[in-house]
Every structure is written in structure tokens, then in C-alpha cells.
Amino acid sequence: MNRQQEYVLRTLEERDIRFVRLWFTDVLGTLKSVAVAPAELEGAFGEGIGFDGSAIEGFSRVSEADTIAKPDPSTFQVLPWAHADGAQHSARIFCDVFNPDGSPSWADPRHVLRRQLNKAADLGFSCYVHPEIEFFLFKSLDTNGAEPVPSDNGGYFDQAVHDSAPHFRRNAIEALEAMGISVEFSHHEGAPGQQEIDLRYADALSMADNIMTFRYIVKEVAMNNGVWASFMPKPLRDHPGSAMHTHMSLFEGDSNAFHDADDEYQLSTTAKSFVAGILRHAPEFSAVTNQWVNSYKRLIGGGEAPTAATWGRANRSALVRVPMYTPNKASSRRIEVRSPDSACNPYLAYAVMIAAGIKGVQDGYELPPESEDDVWTMSRRERRAMGYTDLPGSLEQALDAMEESELVAEALGEHVFEFFLRNKRREWREYRNEVTPYELRNYLAL
């Protein structure tokens, strides 16, 4: 038994933890959990917990259903919920998923991301990310298809009085930081009921774990405040959707590989090639960073969501933005990718984004000219005349681009790649078969 495992077992005993929740995600990013008693955890560290992989989206076929979840002791945290006696009696640990022969499961999203991080490490790079996570608070999610009612009528940076949840953000941040998840900023976003909480940068795998924990914590805190949290990309027709703008940087040891003090933009050759990789492959990986039919209602409408594969300094209509808040601070040189939404699977999303950027670095992609235009207001013809590549306008278009992508297939692995495509093709077929309220309003009287 290693020191981390010993620390976990000792903490369970000292703090009288009675339930340990073992977490992992399916291919679509849904959080899965199995609770074990503390007495069973030592055995789980050694042998794992067996479960039926065929019952989990994308994991395995019935004929090969035996799957093993092994807890990663480095992810141990006590959950912040106090019981009637004032003590905290539950903890969580993320798991890696294995086959019975001890090999990593190719369907495990953590494994998919770890493979990309190992490839970056082989080139001498560590990847750090910092997401800005947007979401909505609604008075109810039980709307029977009608538009939900936001918890407040605030706007961007408003010191909004949350009619239904006045202490929500404070409570959410306290809960997150109690679990060791550092919060950098929080504020009201542009739409009624829309919130943003930015997490402090961390390595990409830890951050993906943090994002899954974030969603769980936010939903629990919202319910405790009498409202409901939604990470749906575009729940309100006339207001912006919820993004997960992600800041990214590569480090070589303690040095920021994206910084070059002598460059006009203070971007290194590595950074420029990484951005070029993101731009070139963005249409191919959009189905992963924006995986729902509803995701494209956000992307086609502007509202600070990118519509074309462009980059620019401080240009919020671009797909990739180079923040210029601290131009002379080497450690802060980073890029911001603005297409992902808050409902993506963060493990898979970060895996394909890193794969695209690293491909650009390895093959020496040339960065196209900076966009200084307001891309949102340009017509499709104008974007093409400027040489800009449009991002997919629907899930179907995104899946078509993904299906032809060698990069995404390699990044996800054959199993996840094929399952993801099949699942999302089915979603698109089901959506196309729906008769929507819009159609009934406009065509029923014909």
C-alpha cells in the first residue's frame, strides 16, 4: 500500500467517514457512482470494484461486460455536506476503469485524456487549463417543454439580487473550495439567471475531474437554495447560451512554452502552431466539444459564441482568443478556446483539443493572419472571402466532419470514436423526427 492510500484510510477513520462514493463517467460525460463502506476501500485499492460495463453508455458489450473500477487515491476529497450531527460522513474518489486482464479500458474517458497528456509529455510538455464555466439557475426544470423561468433578471456583472437564491454563488464557492477546488472568479453572466464561476488553472486531468465535481456541487447547492441548475448549452431562445471557455497553455518544466518576449504578440512558435492546430481541426472535433443537438443553437447565433475558425487578440468573436490582460507576465501567456459548452464531456473535449494543438506543434502548422473583424456580423460569403472556415452549424454537420477525421479517431481511440458517432447519429435522427412547437405555430393552419 502506498502513502496516498494510507492517508485516505487514516482520514476515513479519523473523520468517521461512513460512505465512500467511487466516481467515474461514461462516454457522454454522465457521472456514475457506487458507494462502498470504508472497510471495503482497502480491497478496492488493490483489486478494484467489479461492475457490469454493458450497462454503462459506451463501455462494453454484453459478451464482455465484466469491468473493474479502481479508485485513484490522489483524487480523494471529503464531500462538503454536513449531516444532522454537524459532521461530514461522505467522501468521493475518482476511479480509473480497467478490463479484467488489468489493461486500461479504452472506453474510460480518463484514460482517453491521459493518453493525450502522455503524448504531450513525450514531447516535454505539461498541459494546464482554466475553464470559465457558465450555467443557468431556474425556478424549476419541470416545464413540460415550455421555456424555463430564470431565478433572477440580472445582467452581465450585475450585483443581482437572486430572487430565489440570494446566497447561491457564495455557498457554491464555499463548497467547491472545501473540496480543494480553487475558484478564481465568479459573477453574474449576461442572461437572466445565468452565472459564471471560473476555476483556477490546473493540469488537464485534474481539471476534468474538477469540472465533473463542479457540476455535481452546483446542482446540489442550487437545490439546497430552492432553485435548479442547468448546464444546457442554450436553454433560452433570446439570450446567450452557456459556454465553457477554456484557457490553455503548455509548460516545459517551470517555463511557459507559449511565451516569447520578443514576439509581436508575445506568442512563441509553439503557441502559434498550437493555435493553428486548433483552428485547422476545430470543425472535426466540434462534435466532441459541442455534443448535443442544442449545442448548435448557441454556436450559430453569435452572442459571444464563435461561428468560424479564427483567432485574435481580445477578439471575443473569434474561436481562439489571446488574452492581453497581463502582457508582460510570462507565466500568464495562454490562449482561450471559446467553442466548448458546459455540457461536454471534459475528458474527451480536452483530449481532442490537446491532440489538435499538439498536431500543429509536431507538424509545424503556420498560424493564419489574425482576425480583427467582428465575425458574428459577417455573412457566410464575407467569411469565405476572408478565408475563414465556418464551424459546423448543426450536430449532423459536426458528425460528418468528425467521421472523416483521422485526428479525432486516433485521439479518442476506435471504441469511443465508433460509439460516440453511433450514439450521436441516433440523437440526430430522433431530433429530426420531432415536430416542434415552431412548426405547429407556423404550419398547422396551412
The domain total for the chain is 2
Residue 369 lies in a domain: yes
pLDDT in tens, 75-130: 999 999 887 777 788 999 999 999 888 899 989 999 999 999 999 999 999 999 99
- DSSP state for residue 157 in the 8-state scheme: T
pLDDT interval class at 62 (50, 70, 90): very low
Q: Look at residues 105, 124, 143 and tell me which one is the last residue of a structural domain.
A: 105
Is position 184 annotated in a ligand binding site? Answer: yes
Phi, psi of 185 (to 5 degrees): -145, 160
CA distance 329 to 409: 37
pLDDT in tens, 15-48: 999 999 999 999 999 999 999 999 999 999 999 9
Is position 372 annotated in a ligand binding site? Answer: no
Residue 222 lies in a domain: yes
Domain that holds residue 33: 14-105
Q: Look at residues 105, 126, 156 and tell me which one is the last residue of a structural domain.
A: 105
132, 62: one domain: no
3-class DSSP assignment, residue 228: strand
Q: Which of the given ranges, 152-166, 242-256, 329-343, has the highest pLDDT on average? A: 242-256
Q: What is the pTM of this model?
A: 0.94
Residue 313 lies in a domain: yes
Cα torsion angle, 22, 26, 31, 35, sign:
negative
273, 170: one domain: yes
223, 99: one domain: no
129, 88: one domain: no
Q: What does the pLDDT read at residue 63?
A: 39
293, 206: one domain: yes
pLDDT in tens, 323-359: 876 666 777 899 999 999 999 999 999 999 999 999 9
Is position 284 annotated in a ligand binding site? Answer: no
Is position 248 annotated in a ligand binding site? Answer: yes
Q: Which of 332, 338, 327, 218 is nearest to 278 (CA)?
A: 338
Beta bridge partners of 369: none
CA distance 284 to 263: 30
100, 121: one domain: no
100, 175: one domain: no
The enclosing domain of 23 has a CATH number of: 3.10.20.70
334, 408: one domain: yes
126, 48: one domain: no
Q: Which of 56, 2, 64 is nearest to 24 (CA)?
A: 56
Is position 336 annotated in a ligand binding site? Answer: yes
Q: Look at residues 74, 105, 136 and tell me which one is the last residue of a structural domain.
A: 105
Residue 3 lies in a domain: no
The enclosing domain of 430 has a CATH number of: 3.30.590.10
Is position 169 annotated in a ligand binding site? Answer: no
101, 155: one domain: no
CA distance 170 to 222: 11
Residue 200 lies in a domain: yes
Is position 381 annotated in a ligand binding site? Answer: no
Q: Quick check: 161 pLDDT over 70?
A: no
328, 301: one domain: yes
160, 303: one domain: yes
